[in-house]
Structure 1
Amino acid sequence: MTDHEAYILLNLLGGIGPARLSALLGFCGEPSGIFRTPARDLASVQGISEALADKIVHWESHADLAGELDLAERGGARIVTRGEEDYPELLSTIHDAPICLYVRGTIPENISQRSLGIVGTRNMTAYGQRMTRHLAEAAAFSGFAVVSGLAYGVDVTAHQAVLDAGGETVSVLGGGLARIQPQDHIPLAREIMQHGAVISEFPMEFAPTRHSFPMRNRIISGLCRATLVVEAGLNSGSLITAAFALEQGRIVFAVPGQADNPQAAGCNRLIRQNAILVENFDHILEEFDFLPGFARAENTIREDSAAEDFFREAADSSVSTEAGKILDVLQKGDASVDDISAAADLPAGEVMSALIGLELLRRVKKTGNVYHRLR
Structure 2
Amino acid sequence: MPDIVNHTFENMSTAQPHYDVIIAGAGPVGLFLACELALERCAVLVLEQAADPDSPLKRMPFGLRGLSAPSIGALHRRGLLDALDLHQRMKNPFVGPSSPGAKRPAGHFAGLVFHHEDIDMSQWPDQPDGLPASLLSEMAELETVLARRACELGVTIRRGAAIAGFDQEPDRVTVHAGDETFVGGWLVGCDGARSIVRKAGGFDFAGTEPEFTGYTFSAELSGAAALKPGRNVTARGMYLQSQPGFIVLQAFDGGAFHDAGLPVTREHLQDVLRRISGSDVTIETLHLATTWTDRARQATAYRNGRVLLAGDAAHIHSPLGGQGLNLGLGDALNLGWKLAATVQGRASEGLLDTYQAERHPLGARVLDWSRAQVALMRPDPGARALRAIVGDLMATRDGATYVAGRVWGLGTAAVRIA
Q: TM-score, normalised by structure 1?
A: 0.24
Q: Higher strand fraction: Structure 1 or Structure 2? A: 2
Q: TM-score, normalised by structure 2?
A: 0.22
Larger proportion of helix: 1
User: Which structure has the larger Rg over C-alpha atoms?
Assistant: 2
